[in-house]
Amino acid sequence: MKRNNSTRRMKFINAAVNKLIFRPRKDDRMFPIIDYCHNPVEGCLHGCIYCWARKKAKNKLKNTSFRPQLNRKKLKERFKPGYLIFEVDNGDLWGDWVPREWISAVLGYVRKYPKVYFLFLTKNPARYHEFLDYFPENAVLGATIETNRDDLYKKYRISRAPLPSERYRAMKELDWDLKIISIEPILKFELERFVKWIVDIDPVIVFVGYDNYNNRLPEPSLAETLKLLDRLEHITIVVRKSIRRAWYESLLNFDFYRGGER
Ligand code: SF4
């Protein structure tokens, strides 16, 4: 399959932009282009400190351990042509612990709906490379990269997932034309380096947003984020999700924090 297909890329951009324009936005926590979240696999072992899905699993889904599991019944759901589905948001389908058979079952299902887009999102995009020959053309391959700073990631023990720089390399080397990046929840970053990462990855859309769950993460100031947004908007389509002042800016005088941790 030819993977660098600009027609396919434009078609997806049109579909996504149409959803952005014509759909009333209800909730900044959701990706605004998504029609439905489909979770044949739930659970995750990355252990991100800000994980909302783990809390949801404990409170609503009765999966208190957040142990990964496949629900084959979900692979019988049907979708209308033109839908854009977030495939597995209650976990990470691409974690190293996920058996190949589960992923193959999900890809087989995705293949049955060629007129529906399926958006995948992972913190382990290296695993996409294992399946590159099996992805159908309606697969959109995404990665969360909250920052370019591995040091910050380690210092605050943000997650056990591969470091941001590892995700960047995996996405940059991924030979696929429909890629997206989620910078959410955004963490402090180095502007020039982070922008270069996005240029190298060449995503069709970048989503940017602050943490929605009051986790007091090491966030950039609003001014820093606005600079990043401005630069990214010259590169690709940028969807702004929850854009606000950093939590500490709301508490204290902004000038006090300008000399804060870099
Ligand atoms: S990768 Fe997603 S589902 Fe897994 S722990 Fe992190 S936030 Fe939760």
Cα 110 to averaged position of ligand 1 atoms, centre (Å) = 22
The terminus-to-terminus CA distance of the chain in angstroms comes to 44
Distances (CA, A) of 164 to 87, 106, 183, 194, 215: 22, 26, 11, 10, 19
Residue 262 lies inside a defined structural domain of this protein: no
The tokens of 260 are what?
């804060």
Query: Tokens 């943000």 belong to which residue?
Result: 158
* Confidence category of residue 255, pLDDT binned at 50, 70, 90: low
Number of neighbouring beta carbons within 10 Å of residue 190: 14
Cα 228 to averaged position of ligand 1 atoms, centre (Å) = 24
> Is omega for the bond preceding 185 within 30 degrees of 0, making it cis?
yes
The pairing of strands 41-42 and 69-70 is: antiparallel
What pLDDT is stored for residue 1 in this prediction? 47
Cα 20 to averaged position of ligand 1 atoms, centre (Å) = 25
Cα–Cα–Cα angle for 195, 212, 53, rounded to 5 degrees: 100
Please name every residue paired with 207 in a beta bridge, in sequence order, or none if there are none.
Answer: 182, 239
Which ligand 1 atom lies nearest to the CA of residue 91? 3
Residue 109 lies inside a defined structural domain of this protein: yes
CA 117/CA 16 separation, integer angstroms: 10
What pLDDT is stored for residue 20 in this prediction? 83
The tokens of 55 are what?
């809390």
Query: Over the stretch 35-44, which tens digit does the pLDDT of each residue have?
Result: 999 999 999 9
Q: Whose CA is nearest to atom 3 of ligand 1?
A: 91
Q: Are 106 and 93 spatial neighbours (Cβ–Cβ below 8 Å)?
A: yes
* Higher pLDDT, residue 48 or 260: 48
Query: Over the stretch 145-162, which tens digit does the pLDDT of each residue have?
Result: 999 999 999 999 999 999
- As a whole-number percent, the residues of the chain with pLDDT over 90 amount to 77
Residue 153 lies inside a defined structural domain of this protein: yes
Please name every residue paired with 240 in a beta bridge, in sequence order, or none if there are none.
Answer: 208
Q: Are 15 and 117 spatial neighbours (Cβ–Cβ below 8 Å)?
A: yes
Q: Are 117 and 12 spatial neighbours (Cβ–Cβ below 8 Å)?
A: yes
pTM, entire model: 0.91
Q: What is the CATH number of the domain that holds 168?
A: 3.20.20
Q: Which amino acid is at 162?
A: P
pLDDT surpassing 90 at residue 121: yes
* Confidence category of residue 251, pLDDT binned at 50, 70, 90: confident
Which ligand 1 atom lies nearest to the CA of residue 44? 4
- List pocket residues of ligand 1, CB cut-off 6 Å: 44, 46-48, 51, 53-54, 91-92, 123, 159, 161
Residue 202 lies inside a defined structural domain of this protein: yes
User: Domain total for the chain?
Assistant: 1
Query: Over the stretch 162-202, which tens digit does the pLDDT of each residue have?
Result: 999 999 999 999 999 999 999 999 999 999 999 999 999 99
pLDDT surpassing 90 at residue 31: no
Task: Kindly state the average pLDDT of the residues 7-27.
Answer: 83
Residue 142 lies inside a defined structural domain of this protein: yes
In testing the pocket of ligand 1, which one of 48, 65, 121 has its CB within 8 Å of the most ligand atoms? 48
pLDDT surpassing 50 at residue 21: yes
Mean pLDDT (the chain) is 91
Q: Which residues of 141-163 are buried (b: 16+ CB within 10 A; e: fewer)?
A: bbbbbbbbbeebbeeeebbebbb
What pLDDT is stored for residue 253 in this prediction? 60
Cα 74 to averaged position of ligand 1 atoms, centre (Å) = 20
Query: Over the stretch 61-95, which tens digit does the pLDDT of each residue have?
Result: 566 678 999 999 999 999 999 999 999 999 999 99
197: CB partners within 8 A, 6+ apart? 145, 148, 168, 172
CA 20/CA 225 separation, integer angstroms: 21
Cα 93 to averaged position of ligand 1 atoms, centre (Å) = 10
Query: Over the stretch 183-194, which tens digit does the pLDDT of each residue have?
Result: 999 999 999 999
What pLDDT is stored for residue 136 in this prediction? 96
Q: Which domain holds residue 10?
A: 6-23+30-257
Residue 1 lies inside a defined structural domain of this protein: no
